[in-house]
Amino acid sequence: MKIDVHSHIEVPDAAALVPPMDEAAPSLLSAESAAYQKTHNAAIREQIRNPERKIADMKAMGLDLSVLSITPGQFFYHLDGALAVQVARTQNDRIAEVVGQYPQKFIGAATVPLQNVEAAVAELERSVVELKLQGVEIGSNVRGRYLGDPIFLPFFEKASALDVPVFIHPCNVAGAEKMTDFYFPNLIGNPLDTTISAASLILFGVFDRFPGLKIVLAHAGGHLPYIIGRIAHGWKVRPECRKAIQRSPAEYLGEFYFDTIAHGPEALKFLISRVGAARVLLGTDHPYDMGDMDPLGSLGAVTGLSPKEREMVAGGNAVSLLNR
């Protein structure tokens, strides 16, 4: 089995429930990037909405199964109250419907209104118990709060109890207002925000509270695998970094799972060397232009892996992680 753990779906019925955003608000992209993004979003609309088109793309990439998660533009964390819950339920119902139609091709990951932690816990339980979704996707921050914040502990407690993986995808990234040129909010901001979120989970002691919690980081973990030594050094010399954890942050790197979207065999080889092949999962970010539409080719370009390690990354790890 070749399994993609990072593939997106959009639910128009959910978007239709959301009041339009203020078009007068300043864009965080340059005019050139914003214009291109609008064209790109239109070009991929069928791929992100039509499961049969996604299946055709999977076949072209040599993939057997994809984990469907909401496109980050549809987290809708700015919503409040009953509307936030209604939107998330509409999204999860649609994901479950697609999985039900194509059970041999898709696994569903829920989305939750994490701006209301109590509602998020309830929707996660409904999605897993009633809809039979097998994971959950959340943003790297929620209204500027990073995921290690104690306010989110009930959510992680529920995810741990349900034994479902939590896929963290960057959104509303830090510093975007200072990176309007050259698509920097994605090129640099996305991996940066993933890194901040992962570091907060470590330093707030979330893994110590919930041993065995399954956290998957998008885009090969952002910068985390490459600066973990710096964070570990900070833990040694700064008392505030030792308030919640007794072990070096470096020891927590292997608690995460990572997708393969590293955009280069050297970087992917380094990631695997740091965390082990058992912690790396195939990913595409389909159908976005910053994804990897040849994930098996990218894995094949990494030297020094055994056939067993390649099989683990290509799908074996996902089977274990998702309790397939």
Residue boundaries of the structural domains of the chain: 3-18+63-321
Neighbours of 85 (CB within 10 A): 18
pLDDT in tens, 96-138: 999 999 999 999 999 999 999 999 999 999 999 999 999 999 9
pLDDT in tens, 237-262: 999 999 999 999 999 999 999 999 99
SS (HEC) of the chain: CCEEEEEEECCHHHHCCCCCCCCCCCCCCCHHHHHHHHHHHHHCHHHHHCHHHHHHHHHHHCCCEEEEEECHHHCCCCCCHHHHHHHHHHHHHHHHHHHHHCCCCEEEEEECCCCCHHHHHHHHHHHHHHCCCCEEEEECEECCEECCCHHHHHHHHHHHHHCCCEEEECCCCCCHHHCCHHHHHHHHHHHHHHHHHHHHHHHCCHHHHCCCCCEEECHHHCCHHHHHHHHHHHHHHCHHHHCCCCCCHHHHHHHEEEECCCCCHHHHHHHHHHHCHHHEECCCCECCCCCCCCHHHHHHCCCCCCHHHHHHHHHHHHHHHCCC
- Of the CA atoms within 13 Å of residue 33, those in its CB half-sphere come to 14
Separation of alpha carbons 66 and 8, rounded Å? 9
This prediction has a pTM of 0.94
Separation of alpha carbons 110 and 96, rounded Å? 9
Separation of alpha carbons 215 and 213, rounded Å? 6
Instruction: Please say whether the beta carbons of 213 and 159 come within 8 A.
Output: yes
| CA 5 centroid distance within chain | 9
Question: Which pLDDT score, from 0 to 100, does residue 170 have?
Answer: 96
Q: Which CATH architecture has domain 3-18+63-321?
A: Alpha-Beta Barrel (3.20)
User: Which residue numbers in the chain have pLDDT < 50?
Assistant: 23-24
| Tokens found for residue 29 | 């992209």
